[in-house]
Each structure stands twice: as C-alpha cells, then as structure tokens.
Amino acid sequence: MSSGTTELAWFKSSYSGSEGDSCVEVATAERAVHVRDSKDTGRPAFTVGHEGWDPFVRFVTQS
C-alpha cells in the first residue's frame, strides 16, 4: 500500500473504554482497514483486508 498510516483519517472505536485505558482507533482505506492503539500511535498499525474485517465486525457486534 503506497500511503502511510499517518495520512489516514483515524477515529476512535465506539467500543473503546470510556476511562481512556482501552482505546482503539480505526481508519479505512480503499483496500484495507487499519487498527492502532490510540495511546501509542507511533507503533505500526494492524492492517486487515475488508474481506476479513467485515465478518469480524459482524461477529463482535453480535456479542
């Protein structure tokens, strides 16, 4: 992927903790979804294709 994760529009997950101790940020791109720890944005983001992300979100929101 040619663009770096710093160029992405990150947003905090609605499932992140309200205490600020379990924050996850997500950014979507044309071919992938990027996930990172909002407390340590300098670390590499986890990246997954949409074909893997969509079933994961459906599974988690059913729990």
From first to last of its 63 residues, the chain has per-residue pLDDT tens of: 444 555 899 988 676 666 666 688 899 999 999 999 888 888 989 999 999 999 988 998 886
Report yes or no on whether pTM surpasses 0.85. Answer: no
- The half-sphere exposure of 52 on its side-chain side, counting CA atoms within 13 A, is 9
pLDDT given at position 2: 41
- DSSP 8-state assignment for residue 6: G
Rounded to 5°, the CA angle 62-40-34 comes to 45
In the chain, how long is the greatest CA-to-CA distance? 35
- Spell out the domain ranges in the chain: 5-62
Neighbours of 13 (CB within 10 A): 13
